[in-house]
Structure 1
Amino acid sequence: MKANQWQAMAVAAGLMVASTASAQETGGGSGSFGNAGQIVVSSDAYANLGYTTEGAGGGYFHLAPSADYFLKENLSVGGNVQLRVNFGDDDSQAAFGIGARVGYNIALGEKISVWPKAGVTLFVGDNIIGMQDGTGSLSTVILDGYAPFLYHITSHFFVGAGPRLAIGLGDDVDVTFGVSTTIGGYF
């Protein structure tokens, strides 16, 4: 009876080693960032605090939980839900948005890559978007480009930061340039 248990364990161990070696050889879905079929869950965040030249104080905080899918090697599509809170001397306002984006990952080294993304966001509500970031109060559609440089801390977790350019469309066209941060993981 004991001999059969040891044989079964040896066969199971052999199968596990063989399947692990095969998965590593073919990519196995857990390879480097940007492999086809990977799902990325992340959150972008940026903020501003200060006073305008008109003497009004205020700022905003913006959080965008996101999900992206790599259609093929390094090419991703995704979407996000956005929460933005504006605060100032006179009042506080909140805005909600939904966005879609496309990106392309470029590996710069074993642990560093840049993942430029272009997207469009539709915000819900009137007169709640404008503040110090340049997007006008009547804007409801934001086009943006974001190129975070990612540091892959472990095989499935990253942090990053990079430049963001946003163009608010509405009665007036407003342009904002800043730096955003991101944190996320993939499977």
Structure 2
Amino acid sequence: MRGNSKWTGLALVAGLSVSASAMAAEEPNLNSDPGRASEFGQPGQVVVSQEMSGFLGYYTEAEVFEVRLEPSADYFLQQNLSVGASALVQLAFGDATTVGLGVLGRVGYNLPLSERVSFWPKLGFGIRFGHVPNASDVAFVLDVNAPILFHVTPHFFVGAGPQMRALISDRGFGLGAQQGNFSGSDVILGITTTVGGYF
């Protein structure tokens, strides 16, 4: 009887050990398959991303809150060299409500900084249609966007970085105390966040 109890106890301990090992093996490990900066920027990769920025500041004596959304797609022609395009959607609220829609072509170059971090500056040029009450304008857009990317998992990244955008036209496209009149070209400095993936 004691012998049987001994073997039963050993079997129970062995079973628990095997179960614990199995459970440990099944437990997910977020660091087991991290993203790698060296895998980003390979020839033929397609990158789909969403860039978003919020800007709070002053335009010609008027306080303005501006939000921009920019769904984008980029293609790496060769190692780390990309070309792409993004749609521009802008809403600004102040003395007048501004709506801006446009398209932007861009070229970029990816620089791996560490195992999971890279720097992907992009230079873009495009056109944007803007509307405020009782007035509309078409402006050329010059854009410099330089995010630092953190590669969370393979094929997925988040990032943030500085952005400079100039709107160039005969009349310019500004908000301001004139409540809807165009009043000179705008240059905007801010921080842009981005989230995206590639395949």
Please say whether Structure 1 and Structure 2 have the same fold, judged by a TM-score greater than 0.5.
yes
Higher deviation after alignment, 163-172 or 146-155 = 163-172
Shift of 1:126: 4.9
Alignment of 1:162-181 (within 5 A): 162-171=161-170, 172-181=184-193
Counterparts of 1:96 and 1:67 in 2: how far apart (Å)?
17
Match of 1:115 among 106, 109, 120: 120
Match of 1:69 among 59, 72, 75: 75
Counterparts of 1:173 and 1:57 in 2: how far apart (Å)?
17
Shift of 1:59: 1.3
- State the SS of the aligned residue for 2:42: coil
Higher deviation after alignment, 138-147 or 36-45 = 138-147
Match of 1:87 among 73, 90, 93: 93
- State the SS of the aligned residue for 1:140: strand
Alignment partner of 1:33 is 2:37: no
Q: Percent identity among equivalent residues?
A: 47
Cα deviation, 1:47-85, whole Å, max 9, x if unaligned, reads 12345673x332110000000000011000000111101
Q: Is the 8 A contact 2:130 2:138 kept in 1?
A: no
Shift of 1:96: 0.7
Q: TM-score, normalised by structure 2?
A: 0.67
Name structure 2 gaps, 5 residues minimum.
1-37, 171-183
Q: Is the 8 A contact 1:139 1:168 kept in 2?
A: no
One-letter code aligned to 1:154: T
Alignment partner of 1:157 is 2:156: yes
Tell me which residue corresponds to 2:176: none
Larger radius of gyration: 2
* Higher RCO (Cα < 8 Å, 6 or more apart): 2
Distance 1:143 1:53, change over 3 A: closer
Cα deviation, 1:128-156, whole Å, max 9, x if unaligned, reads 8xxxxxxxx85611101111000000011
Q: Is the 8 A contact 2:49 2:71 kept in 1?
A: yes
Q: What's the RMSD between the two structures over aligned residues?
A: 2.1
Q: Is the 8 A contact 2:91 2:97 kept in 1?
A: yes
Distance 1:70 1:166, change over 3 A: same
Shift of 1:116: 0.6
Name structure 1 gaps, 5 residues minimum.
1-30, 129-136
Shift of 1:164: 0.9
